[in-house]
Structure 1
Amino acid sequence: MLSRRGLLATAALSPLGWSLAPRPARAAPASIRVGSLPFGTVSWEAAVIKARGLDTANGFTLDVVKLAGNDAARIAFMGGQVDTIVGDLLWAARLGNEGRAIRFFPYSTTEGSLMVPGDSPIRTLADLKGKRLGVAGGPLDKNWLLLKAQARDTAGLDLETQATVAFGAPPLLALKLEQGELDAGLLYWTYCARLEPKGFRRLIGSDDIMRAFGATGSMALIGYLLEADTVREKPEAVAGFTRASKAAKEALANDPAAWDVVRPLMAADDEATFQALKRDFLAGIPRRPLATERGDGEKLFAVMARLGGERLVGAGSTLPPGLYYDGSGNG
């Protein structure tokens, strides 16, 4: 049996450099909890991140928290049950102007559209006069406010008084449109993509309207929202999360095999629906510099403040400073 002195000498001479001192435990990577809605595209991106190990490769662990709907997502985010959700630029700006420091990381430029049956006589916004119009969301939905303003400016049409407007949940409105109980429907993009293979067409998109109001290109109206405190407390994990998000989108854009883990989550009953959803998702990948995004965001904020007033944008007159997350981790 070796003496203690002999054992130490043997360890010192070992070519492997063995040490009897215990190694410090490696700290587990910080987690990022992302809220995901049923059939929402966040689950698509998260599936690619997990399948390809993009979270561990970027120094964090992704935890997906399933939430029932938009209201539940906002409550979970405000209450700290999740670190991030995909949310609206205007809501983030309102929170910031009210004193709650929020950071916005662009997620998608794809927005809603006004859909009509393929054989509909409706060809322009002026043709909506006297028609039955379904609107996803409520009276202060940004897409609705933009559509109202565009109809008034280009066709002299007051949609609130010269059309029959019904607000409701997107699935119900899409069904009513299919059943012929509505003449047109202003719907979120995923529902628009699902209607296209069924013979419906887009009359006008939110992107077209935003350009008419001064946007210089396709801008991201939705993004990952983060508390500034989260950015400061977990700077490396947050930065890693945004890198992983970009990498997942690039994988979906360039590698058809990346869709293998996504397609089961899409509720796409046929190839045409799958291809329409895939096309519009990829078209919405943000690619512009943050400075350009903010410039167009300021223009949109001014338009929304004029159209919706304080009920929509709050008391602020512009986007709060530091709203866009730049990857610095400074909060």
Structure 2
Amino acid sequence: MTIVSRRAFTLGSALALAGTALATPSLAQAKPKIKVGSLTLPVFAPIIINIMKARGFDARNGFEADVTVYPGFAAYYAGLATGEVDTLIGGPTYFQKLRLEGVPLQIIATGATLADLVIITKDPAIKGLADLKGKQLAADMGSGQFQILSIIAKSAKIDMAKDLTLVNANFAVARAQLAAGRVEAAMIIEPIATMMMKEDPSLKIIFNANDEWKKLTGFPGWELVYAMREDAIKKTATAPAMLLAALQDVSKFLISDPDTCDRIATETAKLPPGILKDAVLARRWDFDAKPSWGAERKGIWDTFERAVAAGFHPKLPDEAIIYAP
């Protein structure tokens, strides 16, 4: 090779390498980010997103989940309201409230069924909801879960405010109240319920919201659904479809490999080993991501109607609260 040709080869190689270096960031930037809200608590929000990230389901479906973690529910929902995050999982009636208040959100997918919501007691005389009359129940009265419980109770001619003594307590405090014997029963969600029953085998579930909701409405009940801000959808039109596909990958993986999911939850959400797996196999920790605009739309809207009839919200939201591609 002559000096001239060697120089040409060296220059060509340098230009090729420079082109590669310039192209690499460009390719990396081509993958859109979806800002997802999460929590420090061992509940659905962090466990789902942690499994998604650990298994690369976001990247597989064409986006990067950019996670923001919040210490409590108030800040968590505020993150969606202010636009700090694009999407998160939450109660359908709470999203109804936010939409009525002007937050530009749309429900894009289902998430956790109502099998997650239970009432636990150690009193053998309490066998169902009716047996709680005159008893003390610890429950988070500001939660969407309490709204669902109240709607079901009302259908059974039970007035939660009059027939029971309610002790307002978040799920962690409700757990402690029941353990200390200060209340006869507690409204609890998974995986906290499984942890409690592992610690104290005398505890039993006397109410499962999913079973009772189906009896009442004829529809599957959704404790948690995914909402996304409209501005995020306008920015990336494919965002709802990409996120839904990644959520469906998580849903399938929970069933196909609960051991690995349990290990991820143990490492990231600090759950004791075996808790998530037991809750999944018991079909109480039931994550089922489906498009909100399909067959599930009717059930979600029915929940809105019942929340209005029960007096939790003044009116129905506009129909655009449920996303349609």
For the criterion TM > 0.5, the same-fold answer is yes
- Aligned in 2, Cα 1:292/1:98: closer, same or farther, shift over 3 Å? same
Q: 1:321 aligns with which of 312, 319, 322?
A: 319
CA contact (8 A) 1:103 1:325 kept: yes
1:147 paired with 2:149, answer yes
The equivalent of 1:90 in structure 2 is 93
Partners of 1:313 and 1:307 lie apart in 2 by 8
Partners of 1:300 and 1:20 lie apart in 2 by 58
Q: What is the total number of aligned residue pairs between the two structures?
A: 309
Q: 2:132 aligns with which of 107, 128, 132?
A: 128
The equivalent of 2:245 in structure 1 is 243
- Aligned in 2, Cα 1:149/1:287: closer, same or farther, shift over 3 Å? closer
Match of 2:132, as an amino acid? L
Q: 1:54 aligns with which of 54, 57, 80?
A: 57
The equivalent of 1:206 in structure 2 is 209
Partners of 1:257 and 1:145 lie apart in 2 by 33
The equivalent of 1:190 in structure 2 is 191
CA contact (8 A) 1:32 1:238 kept: no
Q: 2:76 aligns with which of 44, 54, 73?
A: 73
The equivalent of 2:117 in structure 1 is 112
Partners of 1:321 and 1:164 lie apart in 2 by 37
What TM-score do the two structures reach when normalised by structure 1? 0.80
Match of 2:32, as an amino acid? A
CA-CA distance at 1:265 after TM superposition = 3.0
Unaligned runs of 5+ in 1: 12-17
CA-CA distance at 1:87 after TM superposition = 1.6
CA contact (8 A) 2:113 2:224 kept: yes
1:298 paired with 2:301, answer yes
- Aligned in 2, Cα 1:100/1:185: closer, same or farther, shift over 3 Å? same
The equivalent of 1:172 in structure 2 is 173
Q: Secondary structure of the equivalent of 1:181?
A: coil
Partners of 1:142 and 1:55 lie apart in 2 by 28
Residue deviations 1:207-229, cap 9 Å, x none?
Answer: 2332233132x232312221111
Partners of 1:284 and 1:47 lie apart in 2 by 14
CA-CA distance at 1:7 after TM superposition = 5.4
Unaligned runs of 5+ in 2: none
Residue deviations 1:82-120, cap 9 Å, x none?
Answer: 121212212223333454431212121144111111x52
Match of 1:54, as an amino acid? F
Residue deviations 1:130-182, cap 9 Å, x none?
Answer: 211111233xx44434434544543x443322322111111111111112111
CA-CA distance at 1:278 after TM superposition = 3.1
Partners of 2:129 and 2:70 lie apart in 1 by 36
Residue deviations 1:3-28, cap 9 Å, x none?
Answer: 79x959xx8xxxxxx97995774251
Deviates more, 1:63-72 or 1:297-306: 297-306
Match of 2:166, as an amino acid? V
CA contact (8 A) 1:194 1:277 kept: no
Report 1:245-260 matches (<5 A): 245-256=247-258, 258-259=260-261, 260=263
CA contact (8 A) 2:136 2:166 kept: yes
Residue deviations 1:182-221, cap 9 Å, x none?
Answer: 10112223322222222222111222332233132x2323
CA-CA distance at 1:43 after TM superposition = 2.3
- Aligned in 2, Cα 1:211/1:175: closer, same or farther, shift over 3 Å? same
Partners of 1:101 and 1:289 lie apart in 2 by 16
The equivalent of 2:48 in structure 1 is 45
- Aligned in 2, Cα 1:193/1:136: closer, same or farther, shift over 3 Å? farther
Partners of 1:274 and 1:99 lie apart in 2 by 36
Q: Secondary structure of the equivalent of 2:238?
A: helix
Q: Secondary structure of the equivalent of 2:167?
A: strand
Match of 2:237, as an amino acid? P
- Aligned in 2, Cα 1:30/1:151: closer, same or farther, shift over 3 Å? closer
Match of 1:292, as an amino acid? A
Deviates more, 1:144-153 or 1:170-179: 144-153
What TM-score do the two structures reach when normalised by structure 2? 0.82
Match of 1:120, as an amino acid? P
Q: 2:286 aligns with which of 275, 283, 300?
A: 283
CA-CA distance at 1:237 after TM superposition = 4.3
Q: Which runs of 4+ in 1 moved over 4 A?
A: 18-24
Question: What do you get for the CA RMSD once the two structures are aligned?
Answer: 3.1
Q: Secondary structure of the equivalent of 2:121?
A: strand
Partners of 2:222 and 2:152 lie apart in 1 by 20
Partners of 1:99 and 1:167 lie apart in 2 by 28
Q: Secondary structure of the equivalent of 1:182?
A: coil
CA contact (8 A) 1:213 1:300 kept: no
Q: Secondary structure of the equivalent of 1:248?
A: helix
